[in-house]
Structure 1
Amino acid sequence: MTRINASHAPLPTANIFGGPDALGGNSLIHADVNSAALITHPASGSGHQVPEATLERDPGMPASTWRLRSDAWEYLRFAVKRLALAGEGEDALAQDGEVPRSLRALETIEMYWAGFGQRYVAAIGELLEAGDYKTALDRIGRVVNRLRADISDEPREEFMDAEERAERVGDADPRPRFEVLVVDETTEAERDATRAEGLRLRSAADTFIYEFVIVPSADDAVAAILTNPNILACVVRPGFTEHTRQRLSRDLAESVQIARSEVAPGSAPERTSLASVQRVLGLADTLIALRPELDLYLMAGAHIEELAGATTRRFRRIFRREDQLELHLTLLRRVSHLFDTPFFTAIQDHARRPVGVFHALPIARGGSVVSSRWIRDLADFYGLNLLLAETSATSGGLDSLLAPVRTLKKAQELAARAYGAKHTFFVTNGTSTANKIVHQALVSPNEVVMVDRNCHKSHHHAVMLTGARPAYLEAYPLNEFAFYGAVPISRIKQMLLDYRAAGRLDEVRMLTLTNSTFDGIVYDPERVMAECLAIKPDLVFLWDEAWFAFGAFHPVTRRRTAMASAQRLEQRLTTDAHAIAYREQQARLFDAEGNPASDAVWLHERLIPAPTSRVRVYATQSTHKTLTALRQGSMIHVYDQDWGREAEEPFHEAYMTHTSTSPNYQILASLDIGRRQVELEGFDLVQRQLDLATSLAQAISRHPLLRRTFRVLTAHDLIPEENREVGRPMPLRDGLSTMWEAWRTDEFVIDPSRITIEISRTGVDGDTFKHEHLMDRYGIQVNKTSRNTALFMTNIGTSRSAIAYLIEVLVKLAEKFEDTHTQRDPDHTRAITEAIDLPMPPLPDFSSFSDGYATDGVLPDGDMRAAFFRGQRRKYVEHVLPDVLWARVAAGAKPVSAGFVTPYPPGFPVLVPGQVITPEILAFMRVLDTREIHGYDPVRGYRVLLEETPAVES
């Protein structure tokens, strides 16, 4: 008999977060020779055991547990089906080392998922050992069907008695399912009793169904919520142990260690003499930090009163063990709160309600459409519900966006909870408008706004509208790829120090940065804000997170979102350890007379803000770009300690200034239901998104033809060495723990969901590659290209099939390009290659404001508003063709731009009103291959302010 060794000892180095795809024929997991399974080969004699060959870990195909688990079960089904149906014998099983490896990996994984479990895997192993392949195939098929169709066999049915089987709900039950983690050291019989009790309490009237995942230790609890996105609640019983007895993979073990180290022991304000209570508090703080969407419950017996006094902030409720029914009802009730979409539900109710329309909006209720002989196809295409839901706040029945008091107010409060904000506001005309709202609310004329030179044009327009003076910060250039990176913290600090030295620090009001950038470069907002507040304790921050809304729903990416960073910074400022560290640093930064040390000292130190600093943080997000929402659906998130005192009234005034009195209710409804989605399954969706992007990058890097044609740009290409510490080119490719470490320590990191490939060897520029090859020929849509790069982005809607199709298209294009190069005349090929290899002109920095608009000629800020409005008057402006302008500049003239000149995408201006036009800017514009350039007329040229006209007051 063939022994497959699916024993109860899991594989010591099961690579739960990494490893190649089993269906591709490689190993699912990494096993060294010492831990390899032992296989008995009948042909070699009884008892002769041969260790498996060492399996080298493939460093490039990431597999989060959802994928590893799915692939392992799929492979088992494929392999056992051959044995059960094709008649292949024991030799085939013995020769397939993937079967025991998959079983051992699953025995570790299934501990952290409800529905089947470790005993189920072990039982399949025993069936295979006994040669009962058909029964094993049936058991495996049930798991695969559940994974594919999201339906559930009840957990461990083969271990249930007749009464339990009679109570089970059918496979086709359509009710949404979630899982509940129970942390307690229990026996197998106690775990079965807990699950049976959950089944007994289940009712046909319940809206949702849940199942228990029961783990014995704090380590296992952290592992479960890192690997199983279906867990929405956790019940902690004080009897748990600290450390796991599972032999976890290196990556998972390191991830658990990092997660548990994130929360310092004893940092909580509550104090208790009970060590068991401290253990409970520590675990609760860790789980909340990792997945704040989880609801935590405590189930205890002794000392329940003292526990209640110390744990209120962490646990929603405390139960005694006999309160199983109350726990059951609470779990269902709480998930119903997450499921609630007050505004979307109100829209549905309105659409179903018969009304008579004696109001505006002829399209409402379909009145002007369904009776028309000419536009009925509008209803055919979009559906009648779109028309039935069209209405206005003034018609009654639905809440008003400008003065919400019911469903919209509640929907925005739920969104604030989901994103970790103190307040959230819906915006129906994009993040461009959201940015203008925040600028107007927080900035007054002649105040200085430090702003990334390469931020979206809406920030530049907002500064102009408010009358603030922009002080432009320069991002590091990536000249080889014709786009910019991000602004190093050293440059931000230096500018603040320059304003302090000039006696103008009080004029600096706000810092605005883009996180993440269009190309996926992500800041460390907590560090940026902390070091800036150390120089100016009342600085306000606006983070443009147009492309980073999804970041709030993954334990690693969340730490670099504005809201999570603000919350951590606020908590840190209140600790005794922070106060001590601040006092110690002040002794190094100031001498005995209170004079500051040199700028070099301030730039070298990682500055610590005063405990009295104010945390005032705003984030704008294009929800529609990365999460589920209709086009132009955006949000503003607020974490401002001075909101009520300083910002609330001006914010509402700015909100009314820029928000339509006729907002699109369908956009608002989509924001509401999109919030439901990310609270209930955001972690799962974002993890898949990151994995698929990394798979794409690895497929391009490993495919012989693709890597000859394309090059995936990594952190080594996009981030200067001095701005990163971990040093890995693509950290997630090495596992979650490596990515986590980089996101904890590096100044900049790359969003793994954004893959930039360098395409010089194709022989075409980025714009041609995008339009003529990807879009026109194969329907592949990409958002951004540069002269020699193309940016591919995964999102929460990306599928593995879509990734496979893209790879297929890239292979076809690579073959086409290679064939073209082969057939071309060598001299022609050489000429094209030399043309492609010509270096791009250096990316231009902001030159300066002209003398007429610069504030003092020393610091970089200027009066852009005055220049803009002068540029709106025809008598003060001339149009100059590029060659003529070039000649003027070469002769020593300093022409001044009359308006914004903005290539789109990416959408940041190369010129702003009042800026001096330099040779570097003209050289860059001359070779720019973007088809759409706002503010530039290809027939008449640049708009330039007439030289003889003096500047005027704004």
Structure 2
Amino acid sequence: MADVTSFDAAGLHESAPTANDADRRASGHSLERDPGMPTSTWRLRSDAWEYLRFAIKRLESGHETASILDADGEISRNLRALETLELYWAGFGQRYVAEIREALDKGEYSSALERIGRVVSRLRGTSIPADHRDDRLDEAERAELQDDSDPRPRFEVLLVDETTTADRDALRADILKLRSAADAFVYDYVIVPSADDAVAAVLTNPNILAVIIRPGFSDRSQQRLSRDMRETIDLAHVDSAGTTATSRSSLASVQRVLGLADTLNTLRPELDLYLVAGAHIEDLAGVLTRRFRRVFLREDQLELHLSLLRRVSHLYDTPFFTAIQEHARRPAGVFHALPISRGGSVVTSKWITDLVDFYGLNLLLAETSATSGGLDSLLAPVGAIKKSQELAARAFGAKHTFFVTNGTSTANKIVHQALVSPGDIVLVDRNCHKSHHHALMLTGARTAYLEAYPLNEFAFYGAVPLDRIKQLLLDYRAAGRLDEVRLVTLTNCTFDGIVYDPERVMAECLAIKPDLVFLWDEAWFAFAAFHPITRRRTAMAAAKHLEERLASSAHATAYQEQRARLFDPETGEPAADDVWLAERLLPSPDARIRVYATQSTHKTLTALRQGSMIHVYDKDWYREAEEPFHEAYMTHTSTSPNYQILASLDLGRRQVELEGFELVQRQLDLATSIAQAIARHPLLRRTFRVLSGHDLIPAENRASSRPMPHRDGFSTMWQAWEEDEFVVDPSRITVEISRTGVDGDTFKHEHLMDRYGIQVNKTSRNTVLFMTNIGTSRSSVGYLIEVLVKLAERFEEETQAREIDGERAAPAPMPPLPDFSAFAPDYASADGLPDGDLRTAFFRGQQRANIEHLSHAQLTERVAGGARPVSAGFVTPYPPGFPVLVPGQLVTDEVLDFMAVLDTREIHGYDPLRGYRILRED
């Protein structure tokens, strides 16, 4: 048997191949190293147990010989992998793996298979085949099986302490004694002896919702961890060290406890931390309160037990959904203006009863236009909605959160109106969603467009480099107009998955203008708050970390040192722009942290369509923003919000607090599986190409040398997301399809959707974007790969036929992506700076007498003749939803060349029959 080794994507240890690998070896193929996402431990663990069950069943039935138990064989490698993995999961544990190995060594295959079957059944969520009263079982096994028959939701608690086997058995017995039939949840302990093991556990086991730390733990792990996992553990410790050094106690033991607490909190802030100490807890409590929810003596087992259950009940709480359920169950007489309420206009109808058949009666029972009875008012919440929004703020790391029931387009308009007044200058990515442009038009702000770097080869844009933002701020400072600049608006992450470093952007911009406000459009990035690596690049996490940085003495010292380089010590004048652009600027410790994020919860988390949230981390909220925000909120929010959308936002928040880490891990891992499959399959890699960071991010905007850091292990991805100016969201796979011979729109509609029912959001001329989400399954990934193989076979046959017939056509040349040309003189700034007046141009374009319609050919001829036509409105291809033309913009031949080859079927603001709306010259 060949010695073939694979590595698990979690980077924990050497692992064993799965059942499919035997077939590969039989056909002469060997396994490659599977570097995949470090978050696939869930899959590795499941596959390892499934493979053991498959292999031992064949051994027991006589289809295999005992030679498959060789030390270098797959069974042994699986067992070695599980001996490490099971330390970090509650339940059967390392001792159970050792007992299975012992049974195999003795030739007791039936006994081993029975034990493996219990684990597989638990992982599958099916009934346990063995009776927990079986006399052959020991007490620990009997307790395990009894636990698995408990229908209550379960979670796991990490206990960090060096304990003996007897201690662990005693802890398990204590849990069973403390349980009550009235408890809403059940839990079990994951017990690890060291700080390193604690980090490994919270990175690999998403079932952990709380951590108990006892001071007796050691520092380093004795497990067989891989280099990647050890590097990741070291990175985690270092990442948390900088924010805690000034507040640590001088006691060495307390420092160790604080260091571990800070590391775990950085990795997974949703975890509750508890300290169990032996003595002097009164003194410890004062030092540790900020990090630990409570401090207990060892004998306070009942209080600790109740605290664990109580805390999870708070996470589980959905105030508004509960209120909706209670309302639906309550008898009521409807005397208000909603005939569908309580099903009144439906259940007695002869013609629309299929509405109830399809959606169910509960939907109608939950409909009401009344805000009494605990349902609260979205515009002035004081009860269930208010509490639901507070819970959402906690989950996403915001100071305040507001629900929006008509999408992030409305959320963006609310924030712009709340923060911007007519005449204020807003720096905004020209390629942001059209709702920002409409908001700027409505507010009367002067718009200064920022240009993202173009990806002409793929016909879409990247993101705005930081040096461009800094240069524009410096230009306004030089012109004496920096005080007019109010807001910076950027899209994080872009439709195509380019992710900013919000903390760096905000820090360097605040170094030039300390009172700037930031709006981050995170419509596609809500999921990122629930993964240890992606979280750091969310607006709320960046704001919190930046605030902590500015408060440190180390930052104050570094700021003063840099200031001496940036300003002339005699005149106080700033140094030349190139000096400012070359430095990584540090903001003043007094800079104001004012950050807003809008998220389409329904796009990447569980919520009904149009369910969105606005998150606020504003240091000046109560003094500057609260009243304008509420006025803007009432301006754009319906007085008849959809209660079902609100309930889904409430439930979506509960889900990500309790299982978000697991779901996002799976999402990223499955995306990597797609990329790996395309890269490895001979036919697929001849037909398609997955674009990497090297394709999507210029070399000067990334420090890492790896094209796909997430495929190289946890530590590599960690470093890239910490150091690079831009990174690529691993859940988005942009596939270049030039070799298929069809354009992206045709590939999407005629091949993927119409033929196979595969839905995708976005294409460009020669790319298709596939996105995984928290609802993506392994089966759906398998189906996608199957479809791509079928399509590749078809395209290859067609290509060969065309070559034989001599009909091979060269691809049509693609024009460069057009930058924003300029505002026409009537709407542009007089001093040559890029800001312009959208609102005046827009409303002038709304008057019929001021406009004319020109076809594409007519407009092209006019531009070629030297004319400078001015757009009367927005022209927005959808998707992706950003305007190619805005009101008051000069129409150029670059724009027209781009529009001529655009293959998007839906273009808002352009009438194929009448053409473009252009402002009359007179």
Classify the TM-score, shorter chain: over 0.9
Alpha-carbon distance change, 613 to 414 in structure 1, aligned in 2, over 3 angstroms: same
Q: What is the match of residue 843 of structure 2?
A: 869
Q: Is the 8 A contact 1:871 1:899 kept in 2?
A: yes
Q: What is the match of residue 47 of structure 2?
A: 71
Alpha-carbon distance change, 20 to 656 in structure 1, aligned in 2, over 3 angstroms: farther
161-170 or 371-380, which moves further after superposition?
161-170
Q: What is the match of residue 370 of structure 1?
A: 347
Deviation track 1:637-673 (CA, whole Å, cap 9, x = no partner) reads: 0000000000000000000000000000000000000
Measure how far apart 1:266 and its partner are.
7.5
1:713 matched to 2:691? The reply is yes
In 2, the alpha carbon distance for the partners of 1:26 and 1:858 equals: 69
Alpha-carbon distance change, 265 to 516 in structure 1, aligned in 2, over 3 angstroms: closer
Alpha-carbon distance change, 201 to 846 in structure 1, aligned in 2, over 3 angstroms: same
Superposed, which structure 2 residues align to 1:277-292 within 5 Å?
277-292=254-269
1:183 matched to 2:179? The reply is no
Aligned match for 2:727, one of 749, 755, 758: 749
Aligned match for 2:628, one of 625, 628, 650: 650
Superposed, which structure 2 residues align to 1:304-383 within 5 Å?
304-383=281-360
Alpha-carbon distance change, 289 to 26 in structure 1, aligned in 2, over 3 angstroms: farther
Q: What is the match of residue 57 of structure 1?
A: 33
Aligned match for 2:232, one of 252, 255, 267: 255
Q: What is the match of residue 614 of structure 2?
A: 636
Aligned residues: 913
Measure how far apart 1:884 and its partner are.
0.8
Q: What is the match of residue 599 of structure 2?
A: 621
Measure how far apart 1:172 and its partner are.
2.8
In 1, the alpha carbon distance for the partners of 2:189 and 2:430 equals: 52
In 1, the alpha carbon distance for the partners of 2:637 and 2:16 equals: 49
Superposed, which structure 2 residues align to 1:414-563 within 5 Å?
414-563=391-540
Alpha-carbon distance change, 170 to 109 in structure 1, aligned in 2, over 3 angstroms: closer
Q: What is the match of residue 893 of structure 2?
A: 919
In 1, the alpha carbon distance for the partners of 2:439 and 2:15 equals: 48
Q: Is the 8 A contact 1:17 1:62 kept in 2?
A: no
Amino acid across the alignment from 1:252: M
Amino acid across the alignment from 1:116: F
Measure how far apart 1:85 and its partner are.
2.0
Alpha-carbon distance change, 790 to 943 in structure 1, aligned in 2, over 3 angstroms: same
Alpha-carbon distance change, 580 to 822 in structure 1, aligned in 2, over 3 angstroms: same
Q: Is the 8 A contact 1:295 1:316 kept in 2?
A: yes
Q: What is the match of residue 945 of structure 1?
A: 919
Measure how far apart 1:857 and its partner are.
4.7
Deviation track 1:209-245 (CA, whole Å, cap 9, x = no partner) reads: 1000011111111110000000000000011111111
Q: Is the 8 A contact 1:341 1:673 kept in 2?
A: yes
Aligned match for 2:905, one of 922, 926, 931: 931
250-259 or 790-799, which moves further after superposition?
250-259
Amino acid across the alignment from 2:802: R
- SS of residue in 2 equivalent to 1:933: strand
Alpha-carbon distance change, 285 to 62 in structure 1, aligned in 2, over 3 angstroms: closer
Q: What is the match of residue 102 of structure 2?
A: 126
In 2, the alpha carbon distance for the partners of 1:613 and 1:364 equals: 51
Measure how far apart 1:16 and its partner are.
3.0
Measure how far apart 1:380 and its partner are.
0.3
Deviation track 1:515-543 (CA, whole Å, cap 9, x = no partner) reads: 00000000000000000000000000000
Alpha-carbon distance change, 157 to 321 in structure 1, aligned in 2, over 3 angstroms: farther
- SS of residue in 2 equivalent to 1:670: helix
1:206 matched to 2:183? The reply is yes
In 1, the alpha carbon distance for the partners of 2:561 and 2:23 equals: 53
In 1, the alpha carbon distance for the partners of 2:14 and 2:636 equals: 47
Q: Is the 8 A contact 1:526 1:569 kept in 2?
A: yes
In the alignment, structure 2 segments of 5+ residues that lack a partner are none
Q: What is the match of residue 33 of structure 1?
A: none
Measure how far apart 1:302 and its partner are.
2.0
Q: What is the match of residue 824 of structure 2?
A: 850
Alpha-carbon distance change, 156 to 101 in structure 1, aligned in 2, over 3 angstroms: farther
In 2, the alpha carbon distance for the partners of 1:471 and 1:15 equals: 46
Alpha-carbon distance change, 236 to 897 in structure 1, aligned in 2, over 3 angstroms: same
Cα RMSD of the aligned pairs, angstroms, is: 2.4
Deviation track 1:733-789 (CA, whole Å, cap 9, x = no partner) reads: 111111111101000000000000000111110000000000000000000000000
In 1, the alpha carbon distance for the partners of 2:16 and 2:23 equals: 6
In 2, the alpha carbon distance for the partners of 1:521 and 1:702 equals: 24
Superposed, which structure 2 residues align to 1:520-919 within 5 Å?
520-592=497-569, 593-824=571-802, 826=804, 828-831=806-809, 834=810, 836=811, 838-919=812-893
Q: Identity percentage over the alignment?
A: 75
Aligned match for 2:369, one of 392, 415, 418: 392
In 1, the alpha carbon distance for the partners of 2:758 and 2:76 equals: 40
Deviation track 1:809-859 (CA, whole Å, cap 9, x = no partner) reads: 00011111111122235455322xx1x2x3310000000000010022510
In 1, the alpha carbon distance for the partners of 2:268 and 2:293 equals: 15
Superposed, which structure 2 residues align to 1:17-166 within 5 Å?
22-25=18-21, 57-60=33-36, 64-94=40-70, 97-149=73-125, 162=139, 165=142
Q: Is the 8 A contact 1:766 1:786 kept in 2?
A: yes
In 1, the alpha carbon distance for the partners of 2:755 and 2:851 equals: 44
Deviation track 1:68-98 (CA, whole Å, cap 9, x = no partner) reads: 1111111111111100123532124339711
Q: Is the 8 A contact 2:241 2:262 kept in 1?
A: no
Amino acid across the alignment from 1:25: D
Task: Give the TM-score normalised by the residue count of structure 2.
Answer: 0.96
Measure how far apart 1:453 and its partner are.
0.6
Q: Is the 8 A contact 1:23 1:75 kept in 2?
A: yes
187-196 or 207-216, which moves further after superposition?
187-196
Q: Is the 8 A contact 1:692 1:803 kept in 2?
A: yes
Deviation track 1:443-465 (CA, whole Å, cap 9, x = no partner) reads: 00010000001000000000000
- SS of residue in 1 equivalent to 2:241: coil
Q: Is the 8 A contact 1:83 1:89 kept in 2?
A: yes
Q: Is the 8 A contact 1:115 1:154 kept in 2?
A: no
Amino acid across the alignment from 1:137: L
Q: Is the 8 A contact 1:70 1:147 kept in 2?
A: yes
In 1, the alpha carbon distance for the partners of 2:83 and 2:296 equals: 32
In 1, the alpha carbon distance for the partners of 2:612 and 2:900 equals: 35
Alpha-carbon distance change, 163 to 102 in structure 1, aligned in 2, over 3 angstroms: closer
1:267 matched to 2:263? The reply is no
Amino acid across the alignment from 1:771: H
In 2, the alpha carbon distance for the partners of 1:538 and 1:14 equals: 42
- SS of residue in 2 equivalent to 1:672: helix
In the alignment, structure 1 segments of 5+ residues that lack a partner are 5-10, 29-52, 949-954
Q: Is the 8 A contact 1:412 1:426 kept in 2?
A: yes
In 2, the alpha carbon distance for the partners of 1:543 and 1:466 equals: 18
Q: Is the 8 A contact 1:21 1:61 kept in 2?
A: no
In 1, the alpha carbon distance for the partners of 2:448 and 2:464 equals: 13
- SS of residue in 2 equivalent to 1:173: coil
Measure how far apart 1:24 and its partner are.
3.1
In 2, the alpha carbon distance for the partners of 1:738 and 1:195 equals: 38
Measure how far apart 1:367 and its partner are.
0.5
1:413 matched to 2:390? The reply is yes
Alpha-carbon distance change, 263 to 167 in structure 1, aligned in 2, over 3 angstroms: closer
Alpha-carbon distance change, 825 to 282 in structure 1, aligned in 2, over 3 angstroms: closer
Alpha-carbon distance change, 462 to 169 in structure 1, aligned in 2, over 3 angstroms: same
Q: Is the 8 A contact 2:500 2:727 kept in 1?
A: yes
Q: Is the 8 A contact 2:243 2:548 kept in 1?
A: no
